[in-house]
Structure 1
Amino acid sequence: MPRLGPAAPTFIDADKAVALRISQENAKGGVFGRKISVNVYDDQANGQTQTTMATKAVEGDKIFGLIMTSATDSAYPYFKANNVPVTGFNSLPMATDRNAFSATGTPSTQYVTTAIQEKLKTLGVTSVALISHNSPSAANSARLQVVSAAASGVKNPLLILDETQGTHDATSTALRIKNSGADGAFLTMYTDGVVSIAQALKQQGVNLKGINGAGIADPVIIAKSGGALEGVNATLSTVPIGVPGHPAVRTFANGMKAAGANPYGSITGVGFVAADLMIAGLKLAGICPTREKFISALRNVDNYKGGGMLPVPISFKPGLLPNGSPVKCSWFVTVLNGQPVPDKAPTCGSIVEIATGKVVG
């Protein structure tokens, strides 16, 4: 995970969420009587650093598997070559690499869900600016939303794929959004970058009907934004804190607070579920686990619920993609009166095939 660099604020305390889930399991005696130990490696969201850390982890520290909470995917070919089980944050290799398991549903460059555009439409958005920072995964997300917008009947007058990462002066971007005629925006970038654009829009007097931005459902981030995030919504892959009827989420939040960690971090829920998924694989692998047993057993699971943390169950069996199908439901949190307010239920869209624009699920 990135502890330093522009990605660090987005992934803050993800390691503590992993530690929380592991400590819960160890308190019950571990898996088949064995306690689980965890090492943390800082890849700084840098490809070369991640590859170096991967080699250290696998060859130096002899890890069994890896819980990945990073937007960088440079080390995945190495993990695949060594058949290392990987669970965690959505990265494109998780759509095809048999050893890699997304904790929140299969990512894809071939299919996209319309959930985000459907949410923006409920806010009155008819024309959306799509903006990503300059990384492959973020740019892919923005490109997918081009198709999603078209399938949802939303215009796309502006596409930016090279926005500066992290905190920056986004005045020129705000003016480009204004001049494009867009009445909504989708911002796929690190949290500080989303805040920068929201602040620039406010400073330039650009009032959009709806903005979706990553990582802004955190009271600490909201308080620091100077009111710029009011009305902005974020997409969560896990059930948000504060939704009634989800005791697992309440236990997670209380456990994070007790550990002095921030449960509202944009990736903390994903980190917790990724650790839960690693534990699930270890249990399925049996009392004498091997990497191959882990991978084969987990690939046969078709109703994984993330310990009650996921909006909908996910499958790791072949579906639209070798490793399953994209999830078409997301939970949204909106900043209202300076606080993150979750929707009462997830928003579900359709799954659209990129090549044809046809709805396939």
Structure 2
Amino acid sequence: MGRSRRQKRPGAMTVTGLAVVLLVGGCSASAGPSSTGACASPGFSPTEVRLGLLYPNTGILASTESPVRAGIAARIGLANDNGGIHGRRVVLDWRDDASSPGGNSAAAHDLVERGGVFGLIEETAVAAGSAQYLDENDVPVIGSAVEPAWALHKNMFAIAFPYVGEATTTFGLYARKSGGTKAFMLSAPLSQSSNQVVGKLVTSLASQGIPVVGRADFSDGITPPDAVAAKFAASGANVLTGAVSGPAMASVVAALRSAHIEFKVAFSPTGYEQALVEHYGPAIAGMSVSIYYEPFEEQTPEMRKYQEAMHRYAPELAKVTQPFALDGYIAADLFIHGLERAGDCPTRQEFMDTLRSIRYDAGGLLPSPLNLNEPLGDRRMCYFFVRVDAAGTGFETVPSDAETTKWCGDRVAGQ
């Protein structure tokens, strides 16, 4: 298992996970009053507060999640340079969950029982492995929810939860306003997560009168994109969507373009990667991605603050415009914000009560404020959409109307 020192990371990232997915808080870095007194809370010393990180440094999820630690390190570095939390430096201790529930459980036990951390940041798709143990021990957990376990445990606080809980009309609205009337659905075979996402997308599309008229499983490196394009054409669909990797979606869009098969819109929760644009160029022009954070292209003050922190405190990450890096940054920001608000020496329960009392939007990086006291599935109805520009050189933000770039829907009735 890993320790707290950082290793060099390659800059490129392939988004194959399904972390697609989100108060008056924000990415503040005020230090608060200084304190060097004794504190009996776990993880606290007169000079430090220790946080833990669980993420997949090895295994099948490692390539997608590797930028997370850089984003967390950047936000902690920013906080420490501004005086820490009530005069204490924030120290991060990390463990590798090896992309497995068993590894996640073992790593969580080690961080809590041997590492003595106050709480955890989890950015992984196997958090269920330790969820019950952490709940029983009242250990606060912050991260991105891609499993139902996040909705079942009162100690788990999600900044992003795109397909946990009830379905939203947002994705159907996007398809309908793009001219879509019939959909073709892509899924990853033998993937429970993919099936969950597909189910939410089908419900969302149906809420706007868009039926799914065709389906195909897609395995990266195995399924011929041309064959899927032919199935799409035969189905009569004009919307391409689904729950597959970014490279998979891009390859199918490129195959549709190559075969001159028309469509109104192609979108998925993955694929916001400049590497795909560089590889395919105009062949994927118009391909859209739904995201739960402000697009990197917007360059608002808070986005510039994030990028400057990444360059300064995590220079090993060559490209800072990586979704999982921003995931880590926002998760760490929420933890820091909660600690600042909870007082000089909070218990774990007091910290969690504080989180439930605030509304948080990461200074505008999230499309709408999170009320962390609400059930998980009741929170996220707003997203941003980005698409590959007509020249095939980069991404552009898709406005929902003349006033905003946020796409907001409602919970689907009866879900």
Q: TM-score, normalised by structure 2?
A: 0.76
- Aligned partner of 1:314 in structure 2 is 370
- Aligned partner of 1:333 in structure 2 is 386
- Aligned partner of 1:236 in structure 2 is 291
Is the CA contact 1:112–1:326 (under 8 Å) kept in the aligned structure 2? Answer: no
CA distance in 1: counterparts of 2:248 and 2:381, whole angstroms: 26
CA distance in 2: counterparts of 1:219 and 1:82, whole angstroms: 42
Question: 1:339 and 1:97, CA in 2 relative to 1: closer, same or farther beyond 3 A?
Answer: same
Q: Does 1:252 align with 2:309?
A: no
CA distance in 2: counterparts of 1:58 and 1:129, whole angstroms: 46
Bigger drift between 305-314 and 218-227 goes to: 218-227
- Aligned partner of 2:346 in structure 1 is 289
1:20 Cα shift? Answer: 0.8
Match of 1:17 among 71, 91, 102: 71
- Aligned partner of 1:351 in structure 2 is 411
- Aligned partner of 2:28 in structure 1 is none
C-alpha RMSD over aligned residues: 2.5
Q: Does 1:177 align with 2:232?
A: yes
1:334 Cα shift? Answer: 0.6
Question: 1:167 and 1:250, CA in 2 relative to 1: closer, same or farther beyond 3 A?
Answer: farther
1:273 Cα shift? Answer: 1.0
- Give the 5 Å matches for 1:60-99: 60-75=114-129, 76-91=131-146, 92-99=148-155
CA distance in 2: counterparts of 1:102 and 1:79, whole angstroms: 15
1:149 Cα shift? Answer: 0.8
1:332 Cα shift? Answer: 0.9
Bigger drift between 12-21 and 43-52 goes to: 43-52
- Give the 5 Å matches for 1:1-361: 1-75=55-129, 76-91=131-146, 92-104=148-160, 108-109=164-165, 111-133=166-188, 134-159=190-215, 163-164=218-219, 166-171=220-225, 172-202=227-257, 205-225=260-280, 227-243=282-298, 246-258=300-312, 259-261=315-317, 262-301=319-358, 303-318=359-374, 321=375, 323=376, 325-336=378-389, 337=391, 338-344=393-399, 345-355=405-415
Is the CA contact 1:173–1:197 (under 8 Å) kept in the aligned structure 2? Answer: yes
CA distance in 1: counterparts of 2:259 and 2:136, whole angstroms: 50
Question: 1:186 and 1:257, CA in 2 relative to 1: closer, same or farther beyond 3 A?
Answer: farther
Is the CA contact 1:112–1:148 (under 8 Å) kept in the aligned structure 2? Answer: yes
CA distance in 2: counterparts of 1:178 and 1:52, whole angstroms: 48
Give the 3-state SS of the residue equivalent to 2:92 in structure 1: coil
Q: Which amino acid aligns with 1:236?
A: I
Is the CA contact 1:47–1:73 (under 8 Å) kept in the aligned structure 2? Answer: yes
CA distance in 2: counterparts of 1:273 and 1:139, whole angstroms: 27
Is the CA contact 2:245–2:271 (under 8 Å) kept in the aligned structure 1? Answer: no
Percent of pairs with identical residues: 26
Question: 1:20 and 1:196, CA in 2 relative to 1: closer, same or farther beyond 3 A?
Answer: same
Bigger drift between 95-104 and 132-141 goes to: 132-141
Q: How many residues align?
A: 347
1:9 Cα shift? Answer: 4.1
Give the 3-state SS of the residue equivalent to 1:102 in structure 2: strand
Bigger drift between 93-102 and 22-31 goes to: 93-102
Give the 3-state SS of the residue equivalent to 1:331 in structure 2: strand
1:205 Cα shift? Answer: 4.8
CA distance in 2: counterparts of 1:280 and 1:167, whole angstroms: 43
CA distance in 2: counterparts of 1:78 and 1:299, whole angstroms: 21
1:3 Cα shift? Answer: 3.7
What are the Cα deviations for residues 231-271 of structure 1, in whole angstroms up to 9, with x where unaligned? 11111111111225x21011112332442422222322222
Is the CA contact 1:65–1:84 (under 8 Å) kept in the aligned structure 2? Answer: yes
- Aligned partner of 1:358 in structure 2 is none
Residue ranges of structure 2 left out of the alignment (5+ in a row): 1-54, 400-404
What are the Cα deviations for residues 190-215 of structure 1, in whole angstroms up to 9, with x where unaligned? 33443444445455554432111233
Could you say which structure has the larger radius of gyration? Answer: 2
Q: TM-score, normalised by structure 1?
A: 0.86
Give the 3-state SS of the residue equivalent to 2:368 in structure 1: coil
Residue ranges of structure 1 left out of the alignment (5+ in a row): 356-361
Question: 1:350 and 1:35, CA in 2 relative to 1: closer, same or farther beyond 3 A?
Answer: same
CA distance in 2: counterparts of 1:26 and 1:85, whole angstroms: 21
